[in-house]
Amino acid sequence: MTVRMDSEAQHIEVHKFYSGTVVVVCFLALVLQAFLNKFSTHFQLLELPLLVVAYFGLSRRNSVSGMFLGTLVGLLQDGISHTPLGLYGIAKAVIGYIASSVGARLDTEHPISRFILMFLFFHIHQIILAITIHLLLASSEPFFSVQLLIASLINSAVAVFLFAGLDRLRR
């Protein structure tokens, strides 16, 4: 008995971007995040580097590159946010890996699916941060709060519009 996978039936497009797009968008997300956090505490609810890692993970659909992108962006975010080195790096590496794995299996182009996925990614990110802070720093961080719920809804709504804008950067 031979099992044959029909590659056309399970084909999900891997998106290509103009050269330098990923680097420039990640850099802009980190710089904008740093500046917005300095001007107002309300902007601390927004997590632009997470949105960018999730978008490129979902679009490029390569688990290894998603994990490396998440690690790099997370470590750079650790550096500019003065948190212990590795906290955001670990959390964003996991999100990059999960987003790439999900993107390889599902069509994630619909705004509702993007909203739901970003909502889930935000909470997974926060759980990983809380566990990492608890284990490595022996400090407590909430797994869930009303502020985190509001932040996840804001990030999910921003993601729908940001992802639509980033879609225009595809080749």
8 inside domain: no
148 inside domain: yes
Give the global pTM.
Answer: 0.91
pLDDT digit string (tens) for 65-106? Answer: 999 999 999 999 999 998 999 999 999 999 999 999 999 888
- Residue-range definition of the domain harbouring residue 60: 21-38+45-169
Question: Using the 8-state DSSP alphabet, how is residue 17 labeled?
Answer: B
Is the Cβ–Cβ distance between 32 and 50 less than 8 Å? no
27 inside domain: yes
160 CB-near residues (< 8 Å, 6+ apart) = 111, 114, 115, 118
- Sign of the CA dihedral 53, 89, 32, 45? positive
Length of the chain, in residues: 171
144 inside domain: yes
11 inside domain: no
The CATH number of residue 119's host domain is 1.10.1760
Query: What is the total count of domains within the chain?
Result: 1
Q: What is the pLDDT of residue 1?
A: 45
Q: What is the pLDDT of residue 11?
A: 57
15 inside domain: no
3 inside domain: no
7 inside domain: no
Low-confidence ranges of the chain (pLDDT < 50): 1-9
